[in-house]
Structure 1
Amino acid sequence: MQNAILWPEGYLPGLTENFASNEVIVAGLAAADIWPLLSVPSRWPTYYANSANVRFHDGKGPVLADGVRFYFETFGFPVEAQCNEFSPPAAGKPGRVAWHGWAGEPGADDRLDVHHAWLVEDLDHGRVRILTQETQKGKPAADLHAAKPNPMINGHQDWLDGLVAAARAAKTRQ
Protein backbone atom coordinates (compact mmCIF):
# COMPACT_ATOMS: atom_id res chain seq x y z
CA MET A 1 0.00 0.00 0.00
CA GLN A 2 1.35 3.40 -0.95
CA ASN A 3 1.43 6.33 1.43
CA ALA A 4 -0.76 9.42 1.04
CA ILE A 5 -0.52 13.16 1.68
CA LEU A 6 -1.65 14.37 5.11
CA TRP A 7 -4.10 17.29 4.75
CA PRO A 8 -4.58 20.07 7.30
CA GLU A 9 -8.09 21.17 8.12
CA GLY A 10 -9.59 23.40 5.44
CA TYR A 11 -7.40 22.08 2.64
CA LEU A 12 -8.96 18.70 1.85
CA PRO A 13 -8.92 18.07 -1.93
CA GLY A 14 -12.34 18.53 -3.51
CA LEU A 15 -13.35 21.08 -0.88
CA THR A 16 -11.15 23.92 -2.19
CA GLU A 17 -11.28 25.97 -5.39
CA ASN A 18 -8.41 24.09 -7.04
CA PHE A 19 -6.50 20.84 -6.63
CA ALA A 20 -3.52 19.52 -8.56
CA SER A 21 -1.97 16.09 -8.23
CA ASN A 22 1.16 14.89 -10.00
CA GLU A 23 3.16 11.74 -9.50
CA VAL A 24 6.11 9.95 -11.02
CA ILE A 25 7.56 6.54 -10.29
CA VAL A 26 11.04 5.98 -11.68
CA ALA A 27 13.67 3.28 -11.47
CA GLY A 28 17.31 3.82 -10.62
CA LEU A 29 16.78 6.54 -8.02
CA ALA A 30 16.03 6.48 -4.31
CA ALA A 31 14.35 8.91 -1.94
CA ALA A 32 17.84 9.79 -0.68
CA ASP A 33 18.72 11.02 -4.20
CA ILE A 34 15.62 13.22 -4.43
CA TRP A 35 15.48 14.68 -0.93
CA PRO A 36 18.52 17.04 -1.07
CA LEU A 37 17.12 18.70 -4.20
CA LEU A 38 13.61 19.09 -2.78
CA SER A 39 14.39 20.07 0.82
CA VAL A 40 16.67 22.98 -0.15
CA PRO A 41 14.48 25.60 -1.91
CA SER A 42 17.48 27.53 -3.28
CA ARG A 43 18.09 24.49 -5.51
CA TRP A 44 14.58 24.60 -7.04
CA PRO A 45 15.39 27.24 -9.71
CA THR A 46 18.32 25.09 -10.92
CA TYR A 47 15.92 22.42 -12.23
CA TYR A 48 12.50 24.11 -12.20
CA ALA A 49 12.21 27.28 -14.30
CA ASN A 50 8.93 28.32 -12.62
CA SER A 51 10.66 28.96 -9.27
CA ALA A 52 12.69 32.07 -8.54
CA ASN A 53 14.05 34.42 -5.88
CA VAL A 54 14.00 31.97 -2.98
CA ARG A 55 14.89 33.44 0.40
CA PHE A 56 14.39 32.49 4.02
CA HIS A 57 13.12 34.67 6.83
CA ASP A 58 14.51 34.96 10.38
CA GLY A 59 18.02 33.77 9.48
CA LYS A 60 16.80 30.23 8.75
CA GLY A 61 17.64 27.91 5.89
CA PRO A 62 18.99 26.74 3.57
CA VAL A 63 17.13 23.51 4.40
CA LEU A 64 13.41 23.53 5.11
CA ALA A 65 12.26 22.57 8.62
CA ASP A 66 8.99 22.61 10.54
CA GLY A 67 7.86 26.18 11.18
CA VAL A 68 10.44 27.84 8.92
CA ARG A 69 9.21 30.84 6.91
CA PHE A 70 10.45 31.37 3.36
CA TYR A 71 9.60 33.22 0.15
CA PHE A 72 9.69 32.32 -3.52
CA GLU A 73 8.04 33.33 -6.77
CA THR A 74 6.05 30.89 -8.91
CA PHE A 75 3.22 31.05 -11.46
CA GLY A 76 3.56 34.84 -11.35
CA PHE A 77 2.75 34.94 -7.63
CA PRO A 78 5.04 36.27 -4.89
CA VAL A 79 4.55 33.48 -2.34
CA GLU A 80 5.17 33.78 1.37
CA ALA A 81 5.30 30.31 2.85
CA GLN A 82 5.71 28.44 6.09
CA CYS A 83 6.86 24.84 6.22
CA ASN A 84 4.34 22.87 8.29
CA GLU A 85 5.57 19.32 7.71
CA PHE A 86 9.15 18.13 7.37
CA SER A 87 10.20 14.54 7.79
CA PRO A 88 13.21 13.26 5.82
CA PRO A 89 12.96 9.78 4.32
CA ALA A 90 14.26 6.92 6.44
CA ALA A 91 14.26 3.14 6.14
CA GLY A 92 10.66 2.08 5.54
CA LYS A 93 9.41 5.66 5.99
CA PRO A 94 8.65 8.16 3.21
CA GLY A 95 10.01 11.68 3.16
CA ARG A 96 7.32 14.31 3.70
CA VAL A 97 7.52 18.05 3.21
CA ALA A 98 4.67 20.54 2.97
CA TRP A 99 4.06 24.25 3.31
CA HIS A 100 1.24 26.73 3.55
CA GLY A 101 1.81 29.39 0.94
CA TRP A 102 -0.05 32.64 0.45
CA ALA A 103 -0.09 35.72 -1.75
CA GLY A 104 -2.16 38.89 -1.35
CA GLU A 105 -3.79 40.42 1.71
CA PRO A 106 -6.35 38.46 3.76
CA GLY A 107 -9.86 39.09 2.46
CA ALA A 108 -8.66 40.68 -0.81
CA ASP A 109 -9.91 39.40 -4.18
CA ASP A 110 -6.35 38.49 -5.16
CA ARG A 111 -5.69 36.45 -1.99
CA LEU A 112 -4.43 32.95 -2.68
CA ASP A 113 -3.86 30.32 0.02
CA VAL A 114 -2.34 26.94 -0.78
CA HIS A 115 -1.16 23.78 0.90
CA HIS A 116 1.60 22.20 -1.20
CA ALA A 117 2.73 18.76 -0.07
CA TRP A 118 5.32 16.27 -1.27
CA LEU A 119 5.79 12.59 -0.51
CA VAL A 120 8.98 10.80 -1.56
CA GLU A 121 9.11 7.05 -0.97
CA ASP A 122 11.27 4.14 -1.95
CA LEU A 123 9.48 1.27 -3.67
CA ASP A 124 10.60 -2.25 -4.45
CA HIS A 125 12.75 -3.02 -7.51
CA GLY A 126 14.93 0.08 -6.99
CA ARG A 127 12.18 2.58 -7.71
CA VAL A 128 11.18 5.86 -6.09
CA ARG A 129 7.73 7.44 -6.03
CA ILE A 130 7.42 11.22 -5.93
CA LEU A 131 3.94 12.59 -5.31
CA THR A 132 3.16 16.28 -5.17
CA GLN A 133 -0.32 17.60 -4.47
CA GLU A 134 -1.58 21.11 -3.88
CA THR A 135 -4.93 22.48 -2.79
CA GLN A 136 -5.71 26.14 -3.33
CA LYS A 137 -8.27 28.57 -1.98
CA GLY A 138 -9.36 31.99 -3.24
CA LYS A 139 -10.37 33.66 -6.50
CA PRO A 140 -6.95 33.16 -8.13
CA ALA A 141 -7.34 29.43 -7.37
CA ALA A 142 -10.74 29.37 -9.08
CA ASP A 143 -9.19 31.13 -12.08
CA LEU A 144 -6.34 28.59 -12.21
CA HIS A 145 -8.88 25.75 -11.99
CA ALA A 146 -10.78 27.13 -15.00
CA ALA A 147 -7.65 27.66 -17.14
CA LYS A 148 -7.06 25.17 -19.96
CA PRO A 149 -4.58 23.61 -20.19
CA ASN A 150 -4.28 23.42 -16.41
CA PRO A 151 -1.22 25.50 -15.43
CA MET A 152 -0.83 23.77 -12.06
CA ILE A 153 -0.82 20.24 -13.47
CA ASN A 154 1.60 21.24 -16.23
CA GLY A 155 3.82 23.32 -13.95
CA HIS A 156 4.06 20.65 -11.28
CA GLN A 157 4.84 18.03 -13.92
CA ASP A 158 7.72 20.24 -15.07
CA TRP A 159 8.87 20.40 -11.44
CA LEU A 160 8.77 16.59 -11.11
CA ASP A 161 10.51 16.03 -14.45
CA GLY A 162 13.22 18.56 -13.56
CA LEU A 163 13.67 17.03 -10.12
CA VAL A 164 14.16 13.54 -11.57
CA ALA A 165 16.57 14.82 -14.24
CA ALA A 166 18.60 16.76 -11.64
CA ALA A 167 18.76 13.71 -9.34
CA ARG A 168 19.91 11.52 -12.23
CA ALA A 169 22.57 14.08 -13.21
CA ALA A 170 23.81 14.36 -9.62
CA LYS A 171 23.99 10.57 -9.32
CA THR A 172 26.01 10.37 -12.56
CA ARG A 173 28.55 12.89 -11.17
CA GLN A 174 29.09 10.80 -8.01
Structure 2
Amino acid sequence: MMNAIEWPEGYLPGYTDNFVSNEVIFAGLTAAEIWPLLTEPTRWPSYYANSFKVRFDNGDGPVLSLGRRFSFDTFGFTINAEVVEYVAPTRGEPGRVSWHGWGGEGDGRLDVHHAWLVEDLDGSRVRILTQETQNGAPAKDLATTWPNPMLNGHQEWLDGLTAAARSASGDGR
Protein backbone atom coordinates (compact mmCIF):
# COMPACT_ATOMS: atom_id res chain seq x y z
CA MET A 1 0.00 0.00 0.00
CA MET A 2 1.32 3.41 -0.93
CA ASN A 3 0.94 6.39 1.37
CA ALA A 4 -1.03 9.58 0.66
CA ILE A 5 -0.70 13.30 1.32
CA GLU A 6 -2.39 14.55 4.49
CA TRP A 7 -4.33 17.76 3.78
CA PRO A 8 -5.03 20.61 6.20
CA GLU A 9 -8.46 22.18 6.42
CA GLY A 10 -9.17 24.53 3.53
CA TYR A 11 -6.75 22.80 1.14
CA LEU A 12 -8.45 19.49 0.35
CA PRO A 13 -8.22 18.75 -3.40
CA GLY A 14 -11.54 19.21 -5.16
CA TYR A 15 -12.51 22.10 -2.90
CA THR A 16 -9.72 24.49 -3.92
CA ASP A 17 -9.29 26.72 -6.96
CA ASN A 18 -6.46 24.64 -8.41
CA PHE A 19 -4.88 21.24 -7.78
CA VAL A 20 -1.97 19.44 -9.40
CA SER A 21 -0.45 16.06 -8.70
CA ASN A 22 2.82 14.65 -10.02
CA GLU A 23 4.46 11.36 -9.19
CA VAL A 24 7.49 9.33 -10.23
CA ILE A 25 8.74 5.89 -9.23
CA PHE A 26 12.35 4.99 -9.92
CA ALA A 27 14.46 1.92 -9.33
CA GLY A 28 17.95 2.36 -7.96
CA LEU A 29 17.27 5.44 -5.80
CA THR A 30 16.33 5.70 -2.14
CA ALA A 31 14.34 8.20 -0.09
CA ALA A 32 17.57 8.96 1.79
CA GLU A 33 19.22 10.05 -1.48
CA ILE A 34 16.28 12.24 -2.48
CA TRP A 35 15.63 13.87 0.90
CA PRO A 36 18.60 16.31 1.17
CA LEU A 37 18.06 17.57 -2.38
CA LEU A 38 14.40 18.27 -1.60
CA THR A 39 14.73 19.69 1.91
CA GLU A 40 17.55 22.16 1.19
CA PRO A 41 15.78 24.82 -0.92
CA THR A 42 19.04 26.57 -1.80
CA ARG A 43 19.79 23.46 -3.90
CA TRP A 44 16.53 23.67 -5.90
CA PRO A 45 17.80 26.14 -8.53
CA SER A 46 20.63 23.74 -9.41
CA TYR A 47 18.13 21.23 -10.78
CA TYR A 48 14.87 23.19 -11.19
CA ALA A 49 15.11 26.41 -13.20
CA ASN A 50 11.67 27.66 -12.10
CA SER A 51 12.83 28.11 -8.51
CA PHE A 52 15.23 30.91 -7.70
CA LYS A 53 16.07 33.64 -5.18
CA VAL A 54 15.68 31.27 -2.22
CA ARG A 55 15.89 33.12 1.08
CA PHE A 56 15.43 32.12 4.71
CA ASP A 57 13.88 34.34 7.38
CA ASN A 58 15.95 35.27 10.43
CA GLY A 59 19.16 33.74 9.06
CA ASP A 60 17.65 30.24 9.30
CA GLY A 61 18.41 27.44 6.89
CA PRO A 62 19.67 25.91 4.75
CA VAL A 63 17.59 22.83 5.69
CA LEU A 64 13.82 22.91 6.10
CA SER A 65 12.33 22.05 9.48
CA LEU A 66 8.94 22.35 11.12
CA GLY A 67 7.98 26.02 11.47
CA ARG A 68 10.89 27.30 9.38
CA ARG A 69 10.03 30.26 7.13
CA PHE A 70 11.57 30.83 3.73
CA SER A 71 10.74 32.40 0.38
CA PHE A 72 11.51 31.74 -3.26
CA ASP A 73 10.47 32.97 -6.68
CA THR A 74 8.48 30.68 -8.97
CA PHE A 75 5.81 30.99 -11.67
CA GLY A 76 6.16 34.79 -11.58
CA PHE A 77 5.42 34.99 -7.84
CA THR A 78 7.53 35.54 -4.78
CA ILE A 79 6.22 32.84 -2.47
CA ASN A 80 6.61 33.27 1.27
CA ALA A 81 6.34 29.91 2.97
CA GLU A 82 6.24 28.23 6.34
CA VAL A 83 6.96 24.53 6.79
CA VAL A 84 3.87 22.94 8.35
CA GLU A 85 4.92 19.28 8.14
CA TYR A 86 8.40 17.79 8.32
CA VAL A 87 9.10 14.11 8.90
CA ALA A 88 12.34 12.68 7.52
CA PRO A 89 12.06 9.23 5.90
CA THR A 90 12.99 6.24 8.02
CA ARG A 91 12.94 2.53 7.37
CA GLY A 92 9.34 1.68 6.60
CA GLU A 93 8.05 5.25 6.97
CA PRO A 94 7.81 7.87 4.21
CA GLY A 95 9.39 11.28 4.36
CA ARG A 96 6.85 14.10 4.43
CA VAL A 97 7.45 17.77 3.95
CA SER A 98 4.88 20.45 3.19
CA TRP A 99 4.58 24.17 3.40
CA HIS A 100 1.88 26.78 3.35
CA GLY A 101 2.88 29.42 0.84
CA TRP A 102 1.44 32.79 -0.06
CA GLY A 103 2.19 35.64 -2.41
CA GLY A 104 0.58 38.74 -3.83
CA GLU A 105 -1.99 41.00 -2.24
CA GLY A 106 -5.71 41.70 -2.48
CA ASP A 107 -7.34 40.17 -5.55
CA GLY A 108 -3.91 38.97 -6.70
CA ARG A 109 -3.21 36.93 -3.55
CA LEU A 110 -2.30 33.27 -3.98
CA ASP A 111 -2.41 30.77 -1.08
CA VAL A 112 -0.98 27.29 -1.55
CA HIS A 113 -0.33 24.07 0.28
CA HIS A 114 2.56 22.21 -1.37
CA ALA A 115 3.20 18.70 -0.06
CA TRP A 116 5.81 16.07 -0.84
CA LEU A 117 5.91 12.40 0.07
CA VAL A 118 9.10 10.38 -0.49
CA GLU A 119 8.97 6.68 0.24
CA ASP A 120 11.02 3.59 -0.40
CA LEU A 121 9.14 0.79 -2.15
CA ASP A 122 9.99 -2.87 -2.47
CA GLY A 123 12.36 -3.86 -5.25
CA SER A 124 14.85 -1.03 -4.47
CA ARG A 125 12.48 1.65 -5.77
CA VAL A 126 11.59 5.10 -4.54
CA ARG A 127 8.29 6.93 -5.00
CA ILE A 128 8.14 10.71 -5.01
CA LEU A 129 4.71 12.31 -4.91
CA THR A 130 4.21 16.06 -4.99
CA GLN A 131 0.79 17.67 -4.83
CA GLU A 132 -0.28 21.27 -4.51
CA THR A 133 -3.60 22.93 -3.87
CA GLN A 134 -4.12 26.65 -4.42
CA ASN A 135 -6.72 29.27 -3.60
CA GLY A 136 -7.20 32.75 -5.03
CA ALA A 137 -7.72 34.45 -8.38
CA PRO A 138 -4.22 33.55 -9.66
CA ALA A 139 -5.01 29.89 -8.87
CA LYS A 140 -8.21 30.08 -10.92
CA ASP A 141 -6.19 31.51 -13.84
CA LEU A 142 -3.53 28.78 -13.54
CA ALA A 143 -6.22 26.07 -13.43
CA THR A 144 -7.62 27.14 -16.81
CA THR A 145 -4.31 27.73 -18.59
CA TRP A 146 -3.36 25.17 -21.23
CA PRO A 147 -0.94 23.58 -21.16
CA ASN A 148 -1.11 23.53 -17.37
CA PRO A 149 1.99 25.40 -16.12
CA MET A 150 1.79 23.92 -12.61
CA LEU A 151 1.53 20.34 -13.81
CA ASN A 152 4.38 20.79 -16.28
CA GLY A 153 6.50 22.81 -13.86
CA HIS A 154 6.20 20.27 -11.08
CA GLN A 155 7.06 17.48 -13.52
CA GLU A 156 10.24 19.41 -14.42
CA TRP A 157 10.95 19.67 -10.67
CA LEU A 158 10.57 15.90 -10.24
CA ASP A 159 12.66 15.16 -13.32
CA GLY A 160 15.41 17.51 -12.14
CA LEU A 161 15.29 16.14 -8.60
CA THR A 162 15.68 12.53 -9.73
CA ALA A 163 18.42 13.45 -12.24
CA ALA A 164 20.34 15.28 -9.48
CA ALA A 165 19.96 12.30 -7.14
CA ARG A 166 21.17 9.89 -9.85
CA SER A 167 24.13 12.14 -10.57
CA ALA A 168 25.02 12.40 -6.86
CA SER A 169 24.79 8.61 -6.48
CA GLY A 170 27.03 8.05 -9.51
CA ASP A 171 24.17 6.63 -11.59
CA GLY A 172 23.88 8.95 -14.56
CA ARG A 173 20.92 7.15 -16.21
TM-score w.r.t. length of structure 1: 0.97
Shift of 1:104: 1.4
CA-to-aligned-CA distance 1:81-113 (integer Å, 9 cap, x gap): 0000011000100000000000012xx110000
Q: Whole-Å Cα distance in 2 between the matches of residues 113 and 129 of structure 1?
A: 26
Q: Tell me the amino acid that sits aligned with residue 39 of structure 2.
A: S
Residue 55, structure 1, aligned to residue 28, structure 2: no
Q: Whole-Å Cα distance in 1 between the matches of residues 104 and 35 of structure 2?
A: 30
Match in the other structure for 1:145:
143
Aligned residues: 171
Written as runs of structure 1 = structure 2, the 5 A alignment for 1:105-116 is 105=105, 108-116=106-114
Residue 2, structure 1, aligned to residue 2, structure 2: yes
- Mark the runs of 5 or more structure 1 residues left unpaired by the alignment: none
Q: Whole-Å Cα distance in 1 between the matches of residues 54 and 126 of structure 2?
A: 26
Q: Whole-Å Cα distance in 2 between the matches of residues 6 and 119 of structure 1?
A: 10
CA-to-aligned-CA distance 1:94-146 (integer Å, 9 cap, x gap): 000000000012xx110000000000000000000000000000000000000
Q: Whole-Å Cα distance in 2 between the matches of residues 151 and 59 of structure 1?
A: 32
Q: Tell me the amino acid that sits aligned with residue 100 of structure 2.
A: H
Residue 81, structure 1, aligned to residue 66, structure 2: no
Q: Whole-Å Cα distance in 1 between the matches of residues 14 and 147 of structure 2?
A: 19
**Identical-residue share of aligned pairs (%):** 68
Residue 117, structure 1, aligned to residue 78, structure 2: no
Q: Tell me the amino acid that sits aligned with residue 121 of structure 2.
A: L
Q: Whole-Å Cα distance in 2 between the matches of residues 58 and 15 of structure 1?
A: 34
Match in the other structure for 1:37:
37
Q: Tell me the amino acid that sits aligned with residue 35 of structure 1.
A: W
Q: Whole-Å Cα distance in 2 between the matches of residues 59 and 161 of structure 1?
A: 30
Q: Provide the secondary structure at the position in 2 that maps to 1:109.
A: helix
Q: Provide the secondary structure at the position in 1 that maps to 2:108.
A: coil
Q: Tell me the amino acid that sits aligned with residue 74 of structure 1.
A: T
Q: Tell me the amino acid that sits aligned with residue 60 of structure 2.
A: K
> CA-atom RMSD, angstroms?
0.7
Q: Tell me the amino acid that sits aligned with residue 162 of structure 2.
A: V
TM-score w.r.t. length of structure 2: 0.98
Written as runs of structure 1 = structure 2, the 5 A alignment for 1:148-167 is 148-167=146-165
